[in-house]
């Protein structure tokens, strides 16, 4: 009987981080087993996740290289411009604003907005077409044992072995907890309400980040005359808003949305997400590495959570594929520490920046309001500063892994 493990890599969690990681590892010649607790049909159902993700330019390049965007035809809404402004409910925006226009840094858009449901469907199709990946779902990983290899025990008693385990099992990562990796973080006392709005006029690919005292109100253009809202409120207010009848909910929505896109109305279900910050102290242990929200759950204020996860994917895949090419043990701690060094600082820095922005803007204190409005107005006047922020939003700066540079792993 062969003593080889079932696959090179085991990924616990086949969500928006786990599936691209499987594709990236397989592109590098590694065999992969992905286990997810949920049925693939459930997670792509229209009722499961109403969110739309802002996927930065560099992340889109990676999804291209992994064969995901080939399944997204007609589902990607380019982000041409981003408008940032401050305001109050029913009073409209401050005259000082910040306008990011993609044409200032090149012909390509700043990224694309794609419904999570369609991203999941496209990732699943790309995974199905990859012979090196085995997806086991719905199955729950109950226990993982680390030694000369990794052995995962599933809820039906089946055992799966591998050289390395990636935990891509989300914010509450049971795999991280069981490995004794601690987290730091806090609750924002805010909830993100998500819904789709239909409007009369075209949005022209302009995303709006409108800062209101309860929290940011993001209007994200979708394909067609539709936009997705990420409407942040203090949790008690969010509960009250979510409990409103359809007409009263639409009135509250319009009081913030305004009429710049003509007549508008919410459509379809409402979703809500409690907002917290959660950062893992360590990303690696022998034969274990954390990826995506398992490593860092952040505030969605600038739509960066998944983008950070996709950067983790690109870096982790490159590190383990390079190690395998050199004949090294891909689960060895010194190999995995290269991934940790590459990603941890970037993730912590961006998470704290998002935290700071949320604190700066989610209040109605007069002098703070004046200072932040002036700040927006000043950055608007300085071309190099605007371009700096746009390049960062597009994810095209820093020490980028190959997959984020339009190359293969």
Site of interaction with ligand FAD (CB under 6 A)? 12-18, 35-38, 51, 53-54, 140-141, 168-170, 174, 192, 194, 230, 273, 292-293, 300, 303-307, 309
Q: Nearer to ligand FAD by C-beta: 94 or 196?
A: 196
* Shortest CB 381 distance to ligand FAD, Å: 28
DSSP state of 329: -
* Residue with Cβ nearer ligand FAD (9 or 306): 306
Residue 166: which of 26, 57, 41 has the closest Cα? 26
Least CB distance to ligand FAD at residue 316 (A): 12
Question: Beta strand pairing status for 150-154 and 159-167?
Answer: antiparallel
CA quadruple 177, 178, 180, 181: dihedral sign: negative
Minimum CB distance to ligand FAD smaller for 222 or for 324? 222
CB of 188 to ligand FAD, least distance (A): 11
Q: Let me know how long the chain is.
A: 409
Q: Which lies closer to ligand FAD via its Cβ, residue 309 or residue 331?
A: 309
Distance of CA 189 to the CA centre of its chain: 20
Paired sense of beta strands 141-146 and 206-212, if any: unpaired
| Surface-to-core class of residue 194, CB atoms within 10 Å of its CB (0-12 exposed, 13-18 middle, 19+ buried) | buried
- Is the four-CA dihedral 20, 109, 296, 270 of positive or negative sign? negative
Q: How far is CA 62 from CA 15, 70, 219, 313, 346, in A?
A: 16, 12, 25, 10, 18
- Minimal distance, residue 383 CB to ligand FAD, in Å: 26
Contacts of residue 135, defined as CB under 8 A and 6 or more positions apart, other chains included, come to 14, 22, 34, 36, 40, 124, 127, 128
Q: State the nearest-atom distance from the C-beta of 271 to ligand FAD, in Å.
A: 8
For the CB of residue 304, give the shortest distance to ligand FAD in the complex, in Å.
5
Nearer to ligand FAD, 51 or 117 (CB): 51
Q: Closer CB to ligand FAD, residue 174 or residue 221?
A: 174
Least spacing, CB of residue 127 vs ligand FAD, in Å: 13
Which residues, other chains included, contact 86 with Cβ-Cβ below 8 Å and sequence gap of 6+? 93, 94, 96, 97, 210, 211, 361, 369, 372, 373, 376
Beta strands at 206-212 and 183-199: parallel, antiparallel or unpaired: unpaired
- Shortest distance (Å) from residue 401 CB to ligand FAD: 17
Which CB sits closer to ligand FAD, 11 or 324?
A: 11
Q: Which is nearer to ligand FAD, 266 or 292 (CB)?
A: 292
Cα-based angle 21, 27, 32 (whole degrees, multiple of 5): 55
């Amino acid at each position: 009987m062969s003593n080889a493990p079932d696959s090179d890599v085991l990924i616990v969690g086949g969500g928006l981080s786990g599936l691209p990681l499987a594709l990236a590892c397989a592109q590098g010649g590694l065999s992969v087993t992905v286990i997810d607790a949920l049925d693939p049909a459930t997670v792509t159902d229209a009722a499961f996740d109403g969110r739309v993700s802002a996927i930065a330019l560099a992340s889109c390049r990676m999804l291209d290289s992994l064969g995901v965007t080939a399944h997204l035809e007609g589902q990607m809404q380019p982000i041409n411009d981003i408008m940032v402004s401050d305001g109050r409910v029913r009073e409209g925006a401050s005259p000082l604003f910040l306008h990011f226009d993609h044409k200032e840094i090149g012909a390509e858009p700043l990224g694309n907005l794609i419904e999570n449901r369609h991203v999941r469907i496209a990732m699943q199709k790309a995974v199905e077409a990859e012979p090196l990946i085995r997806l086991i779902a719905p199955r729950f990983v109950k226990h993982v044992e680390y030694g000369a290899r990794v052995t995962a025990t599933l809820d039906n008693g089946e055992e799966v072995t591998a050289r390395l385990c990636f935990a891509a099992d989300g914010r509450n990562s049971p795999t991280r907890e069981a490995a004794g990796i601690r987290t730091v973080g806090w609750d924002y006392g805010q909830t993100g309400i998500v819904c789709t709005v239909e409007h009369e006029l075209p949005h022209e690919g302009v995303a709006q980040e409108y800062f209101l005292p309860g929290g940011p109100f993001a209007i994200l253009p979708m394909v067609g005359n539709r936009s997705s809202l990420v409407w942040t409120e203090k949790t008690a207010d969010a509960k009250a808003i979510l409990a409103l009848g359809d007409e009263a909910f639409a009135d509250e929505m319009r009081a913030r949305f305004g009429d710049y896109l003509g007549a508008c109305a919410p459509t379809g279900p409402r979703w809500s997400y409690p907002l917290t910050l959660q950062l893992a102290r360590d990303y690696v242990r022998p034969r274990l590495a954390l990826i995506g929200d398992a490593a860092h759950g952040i505030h969605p204020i600038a739509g960066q959570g998944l983008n950070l996860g996709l950067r983790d994917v690109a870096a982790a895949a490159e590190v383990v594929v390079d190690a395998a090419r050199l004949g090294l043990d891909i689960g060895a701690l010194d190999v995995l520490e290269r991934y940790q060094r590459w990603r941890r600082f970037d993730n912590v820095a961006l998470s704290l920046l998002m935290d700071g922005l949320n604190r700066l803007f989610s209040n109605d204190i007069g002098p703070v309001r004046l200072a932040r409005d002036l700040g927006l107005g000043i950055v608007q006047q300085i071309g190099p500063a605007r371009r700096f922020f746009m390049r960062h939003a597009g994810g095209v700066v820093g020490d980028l892994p190959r997959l984020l540079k339009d190359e293969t792993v």
